[in-house]
A and B are shown apart, each in its own frame.
Chain A
Amino acid sequence: MIKANAVTKVVDTSEGSLQILRPISFEVKSGESVAIIGASGSGKSTLLGLLAGLDQVTEGEIFLDNEALHSMNEEERAILRGNKVGFIFQSFMLVQSLTALENVMLPAEIAGLDNPKALALDILEQVGLKHRAHHFPNQLSGGEQQRVAIARAFITLPKILFADEPTGNLDAKNSEKIEALLFEMNREKGTTLILVTHDNELAEHCDRQLTMNAGELVETTGANTINRKEAV
């Protein structure tokens, strides 16, 4: 489903070029759940951004569902994201001036799906928030906002779901709930999950863990381990 081949990322700063990612290679199979773990600043969010097509690689190749993400422009990547990718963020990233329902409808409308409202209500029911459909994000608790975000992520039945610290802003109780919901939905919809976290417990729920350190992929644990040499 995802294939990263010697991916690097270099950014220009006022003090010269800074290499954020050293050549990284790995593969993720369809339906697999993979956690990218590592300390703050290790480059895991940068890697997520590249894999999801939010940013452009400096060198290397990324194939997402057999499509060459690295050679696409921003417009092509946007279309690809709309059709195949779902997102969940640490800070929920809901549009504050849209209701829960409208936030969930948003990707369905962008992708041009039929009857987005019915789809959204249906999925809101699945996350247990149908009764809060017409509330605005600031009228919802953090846990509720993240459930809305999960509903939004799954409405288009994406092939791949990227989650960036999905429980990072939540208390322990809410974290557990969200974690459970996320993996349940993931299983149910057969989605490939790429999850960035520094929560080892959350990472262990995934089929596999990729550990990042100073821009390098240093360790791969869990099932389906690929050749580590290739990753260095």
Chain B
Amino acid sequence: MSTSFNLGWRLFKHEARRGELTIILLAIVLSVAAVLSLSLFSERLQGALKSRSAAFIAADAQLRSDDPINEEWLTRAQEQGLATAKQVATRSMVFKGDEMSLVDLRAVNSAYPLKGTVNITDQPFGEKRATAELPQPGEAWVQSRLFQSLGLTIGDDIEIGDGNFTVTHVLVDIPDAGFSVFNTDPIALINLDDLDKTAITGPGSRARYVGFFAGDSGDIESFNTWLLPQLNDDLHSWRTVEDDESAIGRSVASAERYFLLASLLAIVLAAVSIAVAAQRYAQRHFDPVAIMKTLGATSNTIRKVYLFQILFITGLGIFIGLVVGFIGQQVVVSLVADRVDVSLDVWHWRPLLIAVATGATCALLFSLYPLLQLFSVPPLRVLRKDISANLRSRTIQFVASGGAIFLLMWMYSRDLKISAILFVSGAALVLGLLGATYILIAIGRKLGSGRMGPWQLAWARIKRRAMDNSVQLISFSVTIMLLLVVLVMRNDMVSQWRSQLPEGTPNYFLINITPDIRPELDRHFSDNGVSIEEFYPVIRGRFVSVNGEGVNTEVSKEDEPNRDGRRGLGREANLTWGNSLQKENEIIDGSWHGYEDKQYNEGWFPVSVEEGVAERLNIEMGDRLTFNVGSEIVETKVTSIRTVNWQTMQPNFFFVIHPDAMAAFSPTYITSFYLPTDRKAELTNLLKPFSSITMFDVDARINQLREIVDQVSVAVEFILVLVLMAGSLVLIAQVQASMDERKQEIAILRTLGAKGGLIRKSVIFEFVIIGVVAGFMAAMANELSLYLLQTTVFQMEASLHPEYWAIAPSVGAIVVGILGAFGCYRLLTLNTGQMLRNMV
């Protein structure tokens, strides 16, 4: 043991000092540093994003229930180190003298909110400020709209149910206000201790009880594991930050997936560079192994010597990688600190473990085959240099390398799908490249004959080193492809995020517009230079039956006499009608009903149903849906199913009916408009003549959303830069490794009197040819990977990127060619005699 250890250590020490381990060390350092900096940075970024998202549900997790929440559960959560808070939400009437209005009543205990802030202002529609206080018993904080509709002033008394309250503050918003243009009544916030005196939450009421939980994600998860078996699906629902289905939630989720993807690709890049370096390392040790075997070293001794050496290299590489990675991400964080929120918690264990595991797994598994080759070198090599490794089967290499990459991806992402997609497209790329290489070589065979110019020399080399070149081509292509995937994915994703909220996105909604005031409103707004979007007619109707079979119409379980009956909407539906399909809506089944579509002479009217609700309520094409509007019955038949982009800030509808069906009804209208922030003060003037209209302010929401999108985009760009750097280093390592193999040939050509220019040109041409092919193959494989990623992982629309079909080969040729030129320049400066002596 000690002999092997000493020998291993000695070889490691000298080789490290003499710079012979630089490439393999660099590869390990790179893998560890890239993975650590990427995952640490993304963890810190996600920490910040998560806490922002947490603010939208006022906690890290929520338990919603139709029944009061079991106090024991809250106690248990506290015992597990979680902070808890409670809220009861219900809709109720508020009275001020004879005036009344429906409010979204929220009764909260003193711990609320666990995340985010309650914002108040001193006068209706005034500038908001955060407060740490909450309404005291007897107090109510209500939103500006209620001040408007009830004519309130601060200090007025209001009645909620049986209780009397004094209005002490104008409430601007609460973290978990939710976002919906419909069914949104102004919020009234009261103390939970006052709820009983209102007597509005008795049996049959439609109250929602919410338990809030905050703490470490591990604690939350273990509490959830404990709680889950005790929950009743009909009554309870558990939501965490990750379940956030809002536009923000989705952006954060897709950003997380992107970080994950970028990190996975960094791992693959690192693995490729280690594989290249390990192969070169092993080849350089063929002679020492043959010598040691000749001198009597047994296979066991050789195995130990190299195992120790690989462990030393890996250890050192991991150590330097951790230091470099940590410094790297600190630099990035300090660069973006003013533009991006990152968690201040600088040390996260998971990235550290992942980085170490990546370095170790890559170094050990990727050196497995080269090492096995090394161990198989026969001692006879000391007499016959042409004898190399005895190991011929590459199965073990494919299994070990492929297995290592897949294992790392899976371990890191904990997502089988994303790992499998990348892995399969990677494997397809490798197979495609093998085919391409053989075709290339066949073409080269013809071009390579004739007088020996630099092109002929380049082709001759490609032809002769077919296997080496195909390996090199594959690694170049994989690297370029991964860079393309990260780059294109980032462009597509960021532009998609931004397109959700273009400049001028309506930031105010107006509801309850009656037909008589609509023209006046339109005129008044345009006189004031504010353009109004489309008006949508809305009427409330109860969805009562499908094909004559009644559906449950009540939401409260106590009110449902027949629980087994067909599922209903649970509330009144907002019905609209129109001739044209709304923006961001897409028909996926049937066809849209135009105005000319008069198929309703059998007594039913066409209706278009949103896909999600159709699925939830089990509605199919051709089903007859009956709505109860006021005292009238509206019979409809499903003629189309639509998808709706819920992420757009526009009114979206479950049911859109043919206009003729609604001709008899008098609807109200809903519309939206955009008012720049600096014109906010004009709002009161704009709305003064229309006291019956309710305004809904989504400006703050949009700004918040936009801020997050900007922040995530900046972060994504930095991650892109990091991956690009990692990829470039991999390319350099590959070129350097291959230069080593070219040394001998260059030495011979020099000895035979070849001019530097000829050699340089031929090497550059060789790399240019490889770069073009690698770039082209990478562009193809990129399309395949992107298609799979966009359609299955990122839920985006797949897109083709033909521009990269030209860009990738050009950039491949230029970059690989330049790298080749640099590597070659170094070799040409070496003394020919020295090179020849080293070859012996």
Residues of A within 8 A of B (CB): 45, 48-49, 52, 54-55, 74-75, 78-83, 85, 87, 89, 91, 93-99, 102, 106-107, 109-112, 136, 138, 152, 164, 169
| A82–B295 alpha-carbon span in the complex (Å) | 5
Do the beta carbons of A110 and B384 come within 8 Å of each other? no
Residues of B within 8 A of A136 (CB): 14, 18
Residues of B within 8 A of A112 (CB): 3
The answer, yes or no, to whether B382 is at the interface (CB within 8 Å) is yes
| A55–B379 alpha-carbon span in the complex (Å) | 8
Considering the complex of A and B, which 9 residue pairs feature the smallest CB-CB distances, nearest first? A82-B296, A107-B295, A81-B296, A95-B288, A54-B380, A97-B14, A54-B379, A97-B15, A110-B297
Do the beta carbons of B296 and A78 come within 8 Å of each other? yes
Residues of B within 8 A of A75 (CB): 298-299
Q: B446: shortest Cβ distance to chain A, in Å?
A: 25
The answer, yes or no, to whether B557 is at the interface (CB within 8 Å) is no
Mark out the residues of chain B between 802 and 840 whose CB falls within 8 Å of any chain A CB in the assembled complex. Answer: 837-838, 840
Per-residue A-contact encoding for B537-560, CB less than 8 Å = 1, 0 else: 000000000000000000000000
Residues of A within 8 A of B296 (CB): 78-83, 85, 107, 110-111
Q: A16: shortest Cβ distance to chain B, in Å?
A: 19
| A80–B287 alpha-carbon span in the complex (Å) | 20
Residues of B within 8 A of A (CB): 3, 6-7, 10-11, 14-15, 18, 20, 287-288, 290-299, 301, 378-380, 382-384, 837-838, 840
Q: In the complex, which residue of chain A has the Cβ closest to the Cβ of B301?
A: A110
Q: B381: shortest Cβ distance to chain A, in Å?
A: 9
Residues of A within 8 A of B382 (CB): 54, 87, 89, 93
Residues of B within 8 A of A93 (CB): 287, 290-291, 294, 382
Do the beta carbons of B838 and A138 come within 8 Å of each other? yes
Q: B643: shortest Cβ distance to chain A, in Å?
A: 63
Across the interface, A79 reaches (CB within 8 A) one of B20, B292, B298, B840, namely: B298
| A75–B288 alpha-carbon span in the complex (Å) | 17
Pick the most buried of B296, B382, B838: most chain A CB atoms within 10 A of its CB. B296
Do the beta carbons of B293 and A78 come within 8 Å of each other? yes
Residues of A within 8 A of B383 (CB): 45, 48-49, 54, 89, 164
| A94–B838 alpha-carbon span in the complex (Å) | 12
Across the interface, B379 reaches (CB within 8 A) one of A48, A78, A94, A169, namely: A78
Q: In the complex, which residue of chain A has the Cβ closest to the Cβ of B381?
A: A54
| A210–B207 alpha-carbon span in the complex (Å) | 107
Residues of A within 8 A of B293 (CB): 78
Q: In the complex, which residue of chain B has the Cβ closest to the Cβ of A103?
A: B291
Residues of B within 8 A of A138 (CB): 837-838
A54-B382, A138-B838, A164-B383 are known contacts. Are A87 and B295 too (CB-CB below 8 A)? Answer: yes
Residues of B within 8 A of A89 (CB): 382-383
Residues of A within 8 A of B298 (CB): 75, 78-79
Do the beta carbons of B14 and A109 come within 8 Å of each other? no
Residues of A within 8 A of B384 (CB): 45, 49
Do the beta carbons of A78 and B18 come within 8 Å of each other? no
Residues of A within 8 A of B379 (CB): 54, 74, 78, 81
Do the beta carbons of A55 and B380 come within 8 Å of each other? yes
Q: B312: shortest Cβ distance to chain A, in Å?
A: 13
Do the beta carbons of B10 and A98 come within 8 Å of each other? yes
Residues of B within 8 A of A99 (CB): 14
| A152–B292 alpha-carbon span in the complex (Å) | 12
| A138–B384 alpha-carbon span in the complex (Å) | 21
Residues of A within 8 A of B287 (CB): 93, 95-96
Do the beta carbons of B297 and A78 come within 8 Å of each other? yes
| A78–B382 alpha-carbon span in the complex (Å) | 14
Q: In the complex, which residue of chain B has the Cβ closest to the Cβ of A142?
A: B837
| A83–B444 alpha-carbon span in the complex (Å) | 53
A55-B380, A97-B20, A164-B383 are known contacts. Are A91 and B840 too (CB-CB below 8 A)? Answer: yes
Pick the most buried of A52, A80, A83, A152: most chain B CB atoms within 10 A of its CB. A52
Q: In the complex, which residue of chain A has the Cβ closest to the Cβ of B300?
A: A75
A sample of 12 inter-chain contacts (CB < 8 A) reads A49-B384, A52-B294, A54-B379, A79-B298, A83-B296, A85-B296, A95-B291, A99-B14, A107-B295, A109-B6, A110-B296, A138-B838
Q: B288: shortest Cβ distance to chain A, in Å?
A: 5
Pick the most buried of B6, B292, B378, B379: most chain A CB atoms within 10 A of its CB. B379
Q: B54: shortest Cβ distance to chain A, in Å?
A: 56
Do the beta carbons of A109 and B291 come within 8 Å of each other? no
Q: B313: shortest Cβ distance to chain A, in Å?
A: 13
Do the beta carbons of B292 and A106 come within 8 Å of each other? yes
Residues of A within 8 A of B11 (CB): 95, 97-98
